[in-house]
Each structure stands twice: as C-alpha cells, then as structure tokens.
Structure 1
Amino acid sequence: MTVPPLALAQFVASYAATTMTVAVSVIAADLGTTVLGVQIAITLFTLTMASLMVPGSKLTDVLGRKRCFVLGLVVYGVGALLASAAQGTGTLVLGYSLLQGIGSALMIPPIYILVTVTSPDVETRARRFGVVSGAGALGAAAGPLVGGLVTTWFGWRASFLLQVLIVGVIVVLAWRMVEPPGAPGRTRFDVAGAVLSAAGLFFVVAGLLQVGTSPFWLFAGIGVAILFLFFAHIHNRERAGREPLVSPGIFRDRTTRLGLLTQHVQWLVLQGSFFVIAVFLQQVRGYDAIRTGLMLTPATIGILVASAAAGRMARRHSQRLLIRGGFVIAIAGLALVLLLVRADSGVASAVPGLFLLGAGIGIMLTASVNLVQSGRPDSAQGDISGVSRSVSNLGSSVGTALAGSVLAGVVRPGGTSFALALATLTLVAVGGLIAALLLPKPR
C-alpha cells in the first residue's frame, strides 16, 4: 500500500501547479480583482514550493518520512479548502500560495524518499518511480483540461474542493503506511541553513519569472549571492562537526552532479515546450483551454507509456543508457514538431512529435530520479531528495521563463517566434544529452 498514496499525492501536486492557469480570468472577475492579482498568487505558489523544498525534505529526518508526508497533506488540504472559500485575493494567497505551497514542500520529498528506501532493488524502484512520474505527468497534463471542464461546469471553487477530496483519500491510504525501518532519528535542525537556502531559491526563482526585465538581474544576483553564503555555511558547519541542512558531499560526486543536471534539463524542456506549444495553439490557431489540453494528450500518453515500462527497461538496460536514449528520443520529437507543425497544418501533424517528446522525457524522468536517489544511502535520502526536487522545480521555472523570453523578444509574422523558441529548447536538450554522455559507468 506504499505506492498508491504516493502516486496520488504527486498527481494532485502537479495538477495544482497547472490547473489555475485556465481559470485566471474567471477567478479575477469573481473576486473583484485583476488578472495580475491572480497571476501573482500563482507565482507566489511556485516561489513558496521551490524555496522550501530543501528544508521540507530535511524535516523528514526530524519528524520521520511518513509523518512529514501526512503533515504536508493536511497543510495542503487546509490550504485548498481555504482557497475554495476565498472572498478576496488575501485569502486566496493564504490558502493557495502559502499553505498549499508549504504543504507541497513537506509532502513531495517524502514521496521520493519512501519509494527509494522501501524498494528492494533497482528494477522495483524504477517501476515504482515510473508510477509516480506517470502520475505527476498525468496531473500536469490534466490540470488545464480537467481544470477547464470543472471551472466551466461547476465553477473555479470546485477545482479546489476536488483537491480537498483527493487529499482526504490520500490521508486515509497513508495512515495505513508503515514507517520504514532504519529511518533517521531526531537531529538538530539547521535553521540558518534553511533560511539561507529558502531565501536564495526564492530570489533565484523570482528572477527567473521576470526574465527579460530589469528586475531579473537584481533578483537573480541577490539569489546567487545568498546561495553562495548557503554553501559556505554548510561547509563551515560540517567542518565544525555539526550536521548541515545538506551535506556538501552530495555535490562532490560526479554521477550525482550530472544526474541532477539531466533532471534540470528534462523539466526545463518539458515545461518550456508545453508552454510554447500551448501559447502557439491559443494565439495562432485560436484554441481554447480544453482543445489545447486535448492537443497535448499525445505527449501525456508518451510519458505514461514510458513510465509504465520503466521496470522492464531498468531490468534490461542501465539507468545511464536509458537517460541517453530518452534524450535522443525527446530531441527527435522536438525536431518532428518543428518540421511538421505549421499554423495551417492539420491536428495529426503534431501527434508523432509530441508522442516521441513525451516518451523520451518519460524514460528520462524515471531513470534520472532512480540514478540520483539510488546513488545515496538511506541515511542521506533527506538531503538528496530535497536537492533533486529543487533542481527539478528550477528546471520548470527556467523552461517557462526561457521560452517566454524568446517569444517576447522576437516579433515576426506567423509562427517564426514559436519555431525559434522550440529550436532553443532543442539545443538545451542537446546539452542535456552531452551531460548524459559524460555520466561515468556505475561502480
């Protein structure tokens, strides 16, 4: 009974991150605010979740994996319930942006830790990570489609109530989970490290969300400076014989560094390409949110098919080879989209490229997570899980920001700017493939 609640939790967290985008105008009108006000709430959710992911992961060593997971679910559910009853932007920010963001940061790292420490071998772990990754991809892809349907038929508040219902089911399932043996005992929490990491990631993500404007350099510079102080802090704390928020040894291992880089690129390419394609369909072809969600279905199917086959692929091939193969397939998919999709082309023109893009990313997501998580002992899972999730969140933010800046910076007729944005993402994917080729052979 370990995997179902973990997969459902990843589904609802991914769903929440994308479903709000189709209801922005409706929420703004209902609350008597502006579209910008609702967009700020969405941005704050991303910032809260990304900045607290590392401290949230480390709390699993203090509270226990299962307890931290359940606590995150409860905070998340309370936030969704509060957001559903919002009468103004203040309550929406408190419920959605803050409480759901904090809940996500508490419940997502234990998902990957529990899968790792309860799996007896690499094949089983790959199969379970495939289920979790597939659920996350399904949630992200279903967010705009299901959110559009629910908002149209029942109102935007029903989308939050649906999340409350799902979280209630997960809590019931999670209550029957058993805390795995050998879980870390209570440790002294590195408060200063948590503050520095949260502040650094907050400013970095805030800067990435403003690419193309002058505040980008200010926020990004502040974030990088704070993260520099964070790394100096954890090095000094470790030398003094005290446990840091994250062990610096994680970043000394070549496999871990390159594995984290491939994770970052995967999420960058996934979110960036979805953003570009969605904007193209809505601005050039005039699609609404529901039709846009349906057009992205081939990519979702590709991710689900690859995730379902993760266990078999892990039995036959190394994780390193799967990451490389996934990048090759994803690059081929992007190339097909660039070659076949035009403003006046038929619906079927996008299917082959989107399916290959989804399949390639589905192969990589499972293999990269398996490679990174399996490379550290159970006692270090709190460290690596938080870093892994933060790197992935940064990839999502960079992907959307990079694609948006290219689209905004190129003013040409037709779909030239969209082609340039996809070509840019393809080059980034090639960089990810190079990183995958540099992965050392497993010892």
Structure 2
Amino acid sequence: MTEDAAGKGHADRGRPGAGKRVLAPLALAQFICSFAGSNMNVMINDIGDDLDTTVQGVQIAITMFLLVMAALMIPGGKVTDRVGRKRCFLAGLAVYGVGASLCAAAPGLGVLILGYSVLEGIGTALLIPPVYVLTTLLFTELTSRARAFGVIMAAGGVGAAAGPLIGGLITTTISWRAAFAFQALVVALIIVLSRTIADPLPPDPSRPFDVRGAVLSAGGLVLIVMGILAADNNLWLMLALLAVGCLVLAGFGHWIRREERVGAEPLLSTGLFRNRTSNLGLITQNAQWLLLMGTSFTVATYLQVVRGHDAIQTGVIFTAATLGLLVSSLAAERLAERRSQRTLIMSGFALAVVGIGVLIALVAGSPSNWAFAPGLLLIGLGLGVMLTPSVNVVQSAFPEDEQGEISGLSRSVSNLGSSFGTAIAGTILVADLSDHAYVVAMATLALAALVGLAAATRLPRITPAVGDPSSTSLRPGS
C-alpha cells in the first residue's frame, strides 16, 4: 500500500457516503461470521439424520469452529500488520468461502468439520481482526467511531441471534446444505463491496511473526476447550487436558516475557495486559459471547431434541432474542451519549441475568412455545446494550500501532467465550437431554453473566478523549 493509497483511505472518510460504503462490507463480514456460529444450532437433527451423526458430533463441530477462531485470532491480528489489513481481509473471505462451499457438499461429519470448523474458522480468524483495525483507523472521531462500532457489533449480534431463524428457514424450505451455500454467496458479495476499502496504513512485511508463541497460545486454548468437551465421557481425561492446557498457556506467558527481555517482538506484548480498564473490558466481552452462544446452543438443542421442534419452529422462537438485540443495538449511539460505558455494560448484564431467570421459570412451568419469548427478549436487549461499549472500552485504550494486537486479542477472548458457552452449557445439556439438564445449563450461563457483571462494576466511568483516537488518556463519562 503506497502513501497515496493510504491518503486516499483517509480522504474517503471526508466524502459524503464514503463511510457507509466502507462500513457495509465490514459489518456484513461480522454478520456472516456470527451467523455461522449460531445457525448450525437449528440444524442438529437434519445434519444428524443426513450425515448419520449424533447431537454431540454436531456440538463438537460447532465448538471446534469457535475454538479455531479463538486460537488463531491473535496470530491473525499480527498477520494484518505484515500483509496489510485489506489483503488479510480478502484472504480470510476467500478461505471462508471455500470452507462454506465444501460444507454444502459434505458427504460426512469429517468433511463438514474440515470445511466448517477448520476452513471457516481460519477464514474468520484472518478477516475479523482487519474489520476492527480498519474501523478504528478509518473512523477517527469519537462519535463516528462509536457509530461504526455500533453498526458492526449490531451486525454481529443480529447474525448470532438471527442465525437460528434464517438457518431454520433455509433448512426447512430447502436443506441444511443450502445454508452454507447462502454463506458462500454472502462472502462473494462482501468481496465485491470491499473494492471501496483502502488500507489507511501500509503493510510492514519486515515485522517479525512469533511462530512459537502462536503455537503455544493456540495449543493451550485447544487443550482447555477439549477438556471441557471431555467432561461427560471421562473425568480424569478432562482434568488432564485442562491441566496440560493451563501449563501450555503458562509456557506461552513465560515465552512472551522472555522475548521482550531479549528485545524481540512476541506474539502479544505483555503491555496489553497492564491496562486495567482493557482487562476488565476483555472479561466482559468473554462473558457476553459465552452467554450469547451458550444460550443459543442450549435453547436450540432443547427445543429440537427434547421438545421435538423442527428447524423453522426453533428459529421462529429465537425471533424474540433477535428483536431485542436489534432494538438495543440500534439505540447504542443514543445510549452512549447519555450514559457511561460502565453503566451500559452493567445494565446489559443485569437484563441478561433477569432474562435467564424468566426463561427458566416460564419454560419449566409451561409447554407453550410463547414461554420462551419474554426471557429471550430480555437476554437480547441486554446483549445489544453492552456489546458495543465493551468493544469501545478495549479498542480505544490503545494507540494505532497496537490496534492489530489488541484487535486480535479482543476477538480471541470473545470467540473463546463463545467456545466456552457452547462447550460448557452444551456438555451439561447433551449429557442428559432433559428438562433438569436444561435448567442446570441455563443456571450455569447465569453465573457467567454475574461474573461479567462483577467485572463491569469495576470499570471506571470513562470514555476515550475526544479528537485524540491514538491517545490512551481518558476523561470522565456522562
């Protein structure tokens, strides 16, 4: 990327409609990646029957997809600096599109896992960090950046919440394979729309890439999530995998500190973890996506396997969550002008916890499908309120030259939360597949939401300094 091209990227922000043209492909990319994580939830019976697999087999595919994203998101963030944000974005889209096409023709679970869990996961890890880096660099004014992040997070949240409805419609009217063909078509559209994007900074091919750090971080995360998935089969295997995973992550921490001591550039700078506000924001992000994906998998599986609903019925029931998330996400900009980020995140978690309580109470006492609506609506409203502030808290805490690293870390933490949600709540439910297991799984998700709420209460009432996007200085919020 030349300086002229970079300048053009900045100049684009000044032309009417330029922001919308740049934002459209970025938001749509976040939508389709989030959609991919949740639309599989309503295909459990259809995929199981077609590919002769079990609920646990589909759960493993979903969890591995989320885990591959989490494990590779940090390396993906570093790659953006070496090859350029737009190139990395387009490469991720291409890999994702190949994976979706492979899934559409999958003859068995193994090929489905290759296309969905591996290729779509790798593609997402490559394309998502550039989405957040480009947004931070292209929208430098606080209000416009908040608006842009609001649109992107709304697209992601709606993609995750509407995934069951859209996936259910496609699966019931055509087939589950058509849902992957739909993803491939959307990816093709994003590639076309991406012509309007200009990378504001040139790539730096000389920037080192920490291979050992990437292997250690990815290996540790994989072992921990695999340990959670093994909980219903072998307790000792679960404990062993968790212990080894923690040791590998400890080794990763030791490695990056060693690299910094000798003057090398590690996969992650330890300085990223010295910002208290950012650390708390990362905890809230992890809890939010754990709650979102855990609820999606648990409720969808319960509806299909325990209550016997088909894909479209399951998707329609999720409309309440989609509506709630969309309404609160669209109001994010107005809410941010009136309330501090801390207040919004706390309110979101509080709404979500109440929603889970309502969901458990009404569903346990009624066979009606309408019993799901109030709780799902409250959970959707809560998630929509807090998704954007959590991202702003983290991204705005670091200067431009660290946006690649913090973006990768932020998305990794969020996707790790998604993996935990599907693995933990899913494992509890799949082990029994009963009303009792459903209640226990949802109660576990409520505990995770309370952890997020506790972290949010410790956030200072702050927003980034207006007009200085590269500054880590902060001012009091409203």
Q: TM-score, normalised by structure 1?
A: 0.91
User: Counterparts in 2 of 1:199-214, with a 5 A limit?
Assistant: 199-212=219-232, 213-214=234-235
1:34 aligns with 2:76: no
Task: Measure the CA separation in 2 of the matches of 1:416 and 1:372.
Answer: 38
For residue 196 of structure 2, give the secondary structure of its aligned residue in structure 1: coil
- Name the structure 1 match of 2:356: 334
Contact persistence 2:272–2:406 (CA under 8 A) = yes
How big is the shift at 1:95? 2.7
Task: Measure the CA separation in 1 of the matches of 2:307 and 2:34.
Answer: 26
Contact persistence 1:63–1:186 (CA under 8 A) = no
Task: Measure the CA separation in 1 of the matches of 2:108 and 2:297.
Answer: 28
Q: Aligned match of 2:121 in 92, 101, 109?
A: 101
User: Counterparts in 2 of 1:133-282, with a 5 A limit?
Assistant: 133-181=153-201, 186-212=206-232, 213-214=234-235, 215-282=237-304
Residues 246 and 22 of structure 1, relative CA distance in 2, 3 Å threshold: same
Q: Aligned match of 1:394 in 416, 421, 426?
A: 416
Query: Is the deviation greater in 180-189 or in 237-246?
Result: 180-189
Contact persistence 2:164–2:318 (CA under 8 A) = no
Query: Is the deviation greater in 38-47 or in 110-119?
Result: 38-47
Residues 273 and 90 of structure 1, relative CA distance in 2, 3 Å threshold: closer
Amino acid at match of 1:165: L
- Name the structure 1 match of 2:395: 373
How big is the shift at 1:373? 0.7
Kindly provide the CA deviation profile for residues 231-253 of structure 1, in whole angstroms up to 9, marking residues without a partner as x.
Answer: 11111111111111111111111
Residues 311 and 109 of structure 1, relative CA distance in 2, 3 Å threshold: same
- Name the structure 1 match of 2:311: 289
Task: Measure the CA separation in 2 of the matches of 1:30 and 1:407.
Answer: 22
Amino acid at match of 1:380: E
Unmatched 5+ stretches in structure 1? none
Query: Is the deviation greater in 231-240 or in 321-330?
Result: 321-330
Residues 138 and 92 of structure 1, relative CA distance in 2, 3 Å threshold: same
CA RMSD after TM alignment:
2.4
Contact persistence 1:123–1:314 (CA under 8 A) = no
How big is the shift at 1:277? 2.7
Contact persistence 1:70–1:171 (CA under 8 A) = yes
How big is the shift at 1:156? 3.1
Task: Measure the CA separation in 1 of the matches of 2:111 and 2:208.
Answer: 34
For residue 440 of structure 2, give the secondary structure of its aligned residue in structure 1: helix
Task: Measure the CA separation in 1 of the matches of 2:448 and 2:41.
Answer: 25
Contact persistence 2:291–2:448 (CA under 8 A) = yes
Task: Measure the CA separation in 2 of the matches of 1:34 and 1:285.
Answer: 19
| Identity across the alignment (%) | 51
Residues 441 and 18 of structure 1, relative CA distance in 2, 3 Å threshold: closer
Query: Is the deviation greater in 349-358 or in 108-117?
Result: 349-358
How big is the shift at 1:180? 1.7
Residues 150 and 407 of structure 1, relative CA distance in 2, 3 Å threshold: closer
How big is the shift at 1:115? 1.5
Contact persistence 1:343–1:415 (CA under 8 A) = no
For residue 407 of structure 2, give the secondary structure of its aligned residue in structure 1: helix
Kindly provide the CA deviation profile for residues 354-385 of structure 1, in whole angstroms up to 9, marking residues without a partner as x.
Answer: 21211111111111011111111111111111
User: Counterparts in 2 of 1:87-126, with a 5 A limit?
Assistant: 87-126=107-146
Query: Is the deviation greater in 356-365 or in 44-53?
Result: 44-53
Contact persistence 1:302–1:356 (CA under 8 A) = yes
Task: Measure the CA separation in 1 of the matches of 2:310 and 2:365.
Answer: 15
Amino acid at match of 1:162: F
Amino acid at match of 1:224: C
Task: Measure the CA separation in 2 of the matches of 1:78 and 1:349.
Answer: 40
- Name the structure 2 match of 1:321: 343
User: Counterparts in 2 of 1:40-55, with a 5 A limit?
Assistant: 40-55=60-75
Kindly provide the CA deviation profile for residues 147-199 of structure 1, in whole angstroms up to 9, marking residues without a partner as x.
Answer: 23323333333222211111111001112201124766640111111111121
Residues 77 and 361 of structure 1, relative CA distance in 2, 3 Å threshold: same
Amino acid at match of 1:129: F
For residue 241 of structure 1, give the secondary structure of its aligned residue in structure 2: coil
1:418 aligns with 2:438: yes
Residues 206 and 150 of structure 1, relative CA distance in 2, 3 Å threshold: same
For residue 246 of structure 1, give the secondary structure of its aligned residue in structure 2: coil
For residue 245 of structure 1, give the secondary structure of its aligned residue in structure 2: coil
Task: Measure the CA separation in 2 of the matches of 1:313 and 1:334.
Answer: 23
Task: Measure the CA separation in 1 of the matches of 2:118 and 2:299.
Answer: 29
Task: Measure the CA separation in 2 of the matches of 1:401 and 1:380.
Answer: 31
Contact persistence 2:168–2:314 (CA under 8 A) = no
How big is the shift at 1:218? 2.1
For residue 406 of structure 2, give the secondary structure of its aligned residue in structure 1: helix
Kindly provide the CA deviation profile for residues 95-150 of structure 1, in whole angstroms up to 9, marking residues without a partner as x.
Answer: 33322221111011111111222222333222222221222222223333322332
1:15 aligns with 2:35: yes
Contact persistence 2:341–2:461 (CA under 8 A) = no
Contact persistence 1:66–1:178 (CA under 8 A) = yes
Task: Measure the CA separation in 2 of the matches of 1:326 and 1:402.
Answer: 22
Amino acid at match of 2:360: L
How big is the shift at 1:386? 1.2
Residues 152 and 356 of structure 1, relative CA distance in 2, 3 Å threshold: closer
Residues 349 and 90 of structure 1, relative CA distance in 2, 3 Å threshold: closer
Q: TM-score, normalised by structure 2?
A: 0.85
Contact persistence 1:208–1:397 (CA under 8 A) = no
